[in-house]
Amino acid sequence: MVELREKKLVFIELKLITDSRLRSKEGEPEIIRQMTGYSNFISQHAEELKEYYSKLLRIKKCIGLWNGDTEIEDISLKPELLIVNTYKKITKGREERIAYMESLKERADFDTIITDYPDLCK
């Protein structure tokens, strides 16, 4: 996902807490490689991304799909990993999984946000 926050473009990867790519029994989980790849891509192509999304916003405004600002002043070089916690009951295993997800916040290549949304998958 992409979000424009006060003229700053932010790239977001959304995962459910149950996604197997968030943990690994051996080595780093797949999500670490994925987010590091995103971070490297954004850093290498920041100006091109800024131009592309600025143009996209102008087009969307012209055809009535966007009524916000079309100017992008900055791009966040650190993508965000948004983890949606859908657990309704907390068990010891789930508590450990949440703690592990919290430890992902220590990664320098990306930011991690965990949000509770127990009714998402009704």
pLDDT score for 120: 64
pLDDT score for 103: 86
Question: Residues with Cβ < 8 Å from 6, sequence gap 6 or more?
Answer: none
Strand-pair category, 8-16 with 2-5: antiparallel
pLDDT score for 55: 96
Global pTM value: 0.86
**79-73-5 Cα angle (round to 5):** 55
Place of tokens 């068990």: 91
How far is the C-alpha of 121 from the C-alpha of 87, rounded, in Å?
Answer: 10
Are 79 and 11 in contact, with CB atoms under 8 Å apart? yes
Strand-pair category, 74-75 with 111-116: unpaired
- The first and second tokens of residue 89, run together, are 């009951």
Residues in the chain with pLDDT values less than 70 = 118-122
Q: Which helix (H) or strand (E) holds 75?
A: strand 74-75
